[in-house]
Amino acid sequence: MRGSQFRRCVVFLAALTIAVCFVLPGFAEEEISAEDLEVEEVVEEVTLEDTLVSRPLPIDFTGGAEPQEQFYLDENIYQDPTISVQITYKDITDYQGQKSRTAGAWIVDIRIGDASQLRTAAAESFDTNTTAQAVDIARRVNAVAAFNGDYVTRLNEGFILRQGQMFRDKLKGRRDVLLIDEDGDFHVFTAPKKGDLSDTVDGKKVINAFYFGPILVENGEIPKKMTNFTYLEPDKFYTRLAICQIGPLHYKMILTTNNQDSNRTSGLKIRDFAQLCRDEGAQTAFNLDGGFSTTLYFHQERVNSQENVNFREVPDIIYFASAWDGGENE
């Protein structure tokens, strides 16, 4: 009896082992299935609306509506009914042509409901030499996302028109100019001279103008001959910043990192940077101040912080503001 019972136990255990081997993988597959992870729901949570509410802000130097915490969908996304901002960090090593180096860029995709939400602000005023940390200026004006501008006090020349007000009209044909009209559309001019520009373009009022350059992309193409600004160190791997228009009320701000970043990444040469902007869908792209001025501000802090770097104080910023007042008067 004992020998027979032992044999029956062995047979039972063998059968049980075989069953477990076949059944458990099925359970494991179900536990990590897309349905159980609710992948579709996750995607829906970060899908941004294409249609935004148009609520004009005053064309002056007041700030925007204060961003509301509930509209930060995660650490890289903000969307309320009037604005959406989505930040992506990507590897751009292939743009360098040097596999021994690594490079990264922040791509900030921005959509606004009204052109007035693309704004500028000064440390004190656009006709003074006062500077401040870009993040401090951004906090003061309730920016959703903010970036350094073109360092208006660097030269006593240029075409400086901000928030509809002219501060300087001293063109000398030395740099390119970007005009942003009342509809939020970009217009670029190659090294214009005095008298070439005014406070209107194509019959529309100019709200903001920038004097830095060069033009990186025009009509979806990189200029065959790019203005040679030696101060940009165009043939060096450098931290750079560009403002790009993708389409109506749709923009991208693109920043490269440099080799002082904690990840030891390095930036791009100017023409490779232009190619990056074009590949990101820019119909128009304009280079702004880079180096230690380069700033990406989001959710009350500088995103592109770097170890052992003293960021330069700047006289001006570009920022994108919310116009949402919480739904009143709907």
Q: Would you state the pLDDT for residue 3?
A: 45
Residue 279, SS3 per DSSP? helix
pTM of structure: 0.83
Tens-digit pLDDT profile for residues 258-309: 654 445 567 899 999 999 999 999 999 999 998 889 999 999 999 987 665 6
Q: Which two tokens stand for residue 249?
A: 């009320």
Give the model's confidence band at 103: pLDDT under 50 very low, under 70 low, under 90 confident, else very high: confident
215 vs 205: CA distance, rounded Å = 21
Burial class of residue 235 (count of CB atoms within 10 Å of its CB; 0-12, 13-18, 19+): exposed
Distances (CA, A) of 288 to 1, 29, 45, 208: 92, 51, 33, 14
Q: Which of 43-52, 76-85, 147-156, 321-330 has the lowest mean pLDDT?
A: 43-52
Residue 254, token pair as written in the block: 């693109």
CB 283 within 8 A of CB 77: no
Alpha carbon distances (Å) from 107 to 77, 110, 250, 255, 276: 12, 10, 13, 7, 10
pLDDT of residue 257: 79
Residue 230 has pLDDT above 80, yes or no: no
Task: Count Cβ atoms within 10 A of the Cβ of residue 123 and give its class: 0-12 exposed, 13-18 middle, 19 or more buried.
Answer: buried
How does DSSP classify residue 274? H
pLDDT of 130 higher than 90: yes
303 alpha carbon, distance to own chain's centre: 11
User: In whole angstroms, what is the distance from residue 175 CA to residue 31 CA?
Assistant: 60
Decide if 120 contacts 63 (C-beta within 8 A): no
Which has the higher per-residue pLDDT, 163 or 103? 163
User: Which tokens in the block code for residue 243?
Assistant: 């403002």
Beta strands in the chain (DSSP E): 72-74, 77-80, 83-91, 104-112, 118-122, 143-148, 158-162, 165-170, 176-181, 186-189, 200-201, 204-212, 215-218, 241-247, 250-256, 284-288, 296-298, 301-302, 316-321
C-alpha 144/C-alpha 152 separation (Å) is 22
pLDDT per position as a tens digit, 131-183: 999 999 999 999 999 999 998 888 888 999 999 999 999 999 989 999 999 99
